Amino acid sequence: MTTNTFVAGDGFLYRMDPRAKIMAMLLVCVFLFLGITLEGLYATVVLLILVGSVNTGIQHTGRTFKSILPMLIFMVLFMPFNVRGGESLISIGSFTLITREGALQAARLGGRFIGITYACTLLFATTPMTDVMLGLRWYRLPYKASLVVTLAFTYIPFIADSFIQITESHRLREGGDLEKKRSVFKRLKDLLPTLTSALVVALRSIPYLAMSLEQRGFGRKEKRTSYHSLDSYRHTFTDFLISFTIPIVLWLIFKA
């Protein structure tokens, strides 16, 4: 009922202390919302994608982008229409369709969205979830809260997995003759029952997850111990230094 986000590898991010990586992820996310230039924003996004490709491989990086693409298109297409004021870029007669400010805002929003996605992916793809949890607990987050955070980040891919399985199932259940290429409208229409089914599967699995957690002892009064530890990470200080330095340097270079 949960899907692993970890992709085995031996890049430098895999050796970095999870506590420092959590800090770096948070600082990068904050940095993306500071007053920085658009060029700076996209340079950071490119840097994140490059770091991701080096550590988890180009294929994984590409898959991540593909997974957010529909939402990204939706945001970039509809955002400019919401901003009415400013210099007109495209207009039909006297009606302004897209303004320069709207286009810039859409570009900024898209950049932030890609940036946050890759920052999170870099953490969760290069760190086993147990280590993320230990890292969160090191920051004094209670066990239950850490579990909720890690479950949430594994539950989202589970919904994506369910979606793929349902798509496969539906593909095997297609009736009639082979159709030629389906129109975009038909494809979108076909997507609806699959999406609904994926959500139903996800919702249906919640009580089973809760049931299994309790059955495995979640809720017991004993002080919970941990099978894993973060002792194997040897350069904690250096890793923290890097985590603080990089976002600060980026901010100094790209501040508006």
Partner 1 sequence: MNYPTKGTQDPCLDIRNLSFTYQSWKKEKNSPVLAGLDLRLEHKSKTLLLAPFDRGKSTLARIISGLCPKYLPGALEGSVHICGKDLANTEPWELLLDCGYVSQNPQEQFVALSVEDEIAFPLEALGLTRVEIARRVDSALVNWGLDDLRTSSQQELSGGERKRVLLAVQQAIHPHFWVLDESFDDLDRSWREYLTTLIREGEGTTLVLASRYLEQFEDLFDQFALLDEGKIRFGEKAEILHSFSILCGDELPNPLNDQKILIQDEHTLVCSSLLTVRIRISTLEAKPFKLSVPSFTITSGDLVTLVGPNGSGKSTFSRLLCGLDEPKEGTFTLDGEEMNQRELNRSVGYLFQNPDLQIFLPTVREELSWSLKRRKDLNDRQVDAMVCECATLFGLDLEETPSTMSYPLRKALQAAVYYLLDRPFYILDELDNALTYSVALSIIALLRRNGAGILLITHDRKFARLVSETTYAIEAGILERA
Q: How far is the CB of 174 from partner 1 (least distance, A)?
A: 7
Q: How far is the CB of 30 from partner 1 (least distance, A)?
A: 28
Q: How far is the CB of 228 from partner 1 (least distance, A)?
A: 8
Nearer to partner 1, 229 or 238 (CB): 229
Nearer to partner 1, 94 or 181 (CB): 181
Nearer to partner 1, 210 or 249 (CB): 210
* Cα atoms found within 13 Å of the Cα of residue 39, Cβ hemisphere only: 4
207, two tokens: 């009580």
Q: How far is the CB of 122 from partner 1 (least distance, A)?
A: 16
Nearer to partner 1, 1 or 72 (CB): 1
Distance CA 142, CA 230 (A): 17
Nearer to partner 1, 85 or 219 (CB): 219
Q: How far is the CB of 50 from partner 1 (least distance, A)?
A: 21
Q: How far is the CB of 151 from partner 1 (least distance, A)?
A: 9
Q: 183, 203, 191: which is closest to 164 by C-alpha?
A: 191
Residue 38 contacts residue 104 (beta carbons within 8 Å): yes
Task: Please identify which residue in the block is written with the tokens 């076909």.
Answer: 190
Residue 191 contacts residue 39 (beta carbons within 8 Å): no
Nearer to partner 1, 82 or 225 (CB): 225
Contacting residues toward partner 1, per CB under 8 A: 1-4, 6-10, 128-130, 154, 161, 165-166, 168-169, 171-176, 178, 193, 197, 200-201, 204-205, 207-220, 222-229
Nearer to partner 1, 141 or 242 (CB): 141
What is the largest distance, in Å, between two alpha-carbon atoms of the chain? Answer: 72
Q: How far is the CB of 109 from partner 1 (least distance, A)?
A: 31
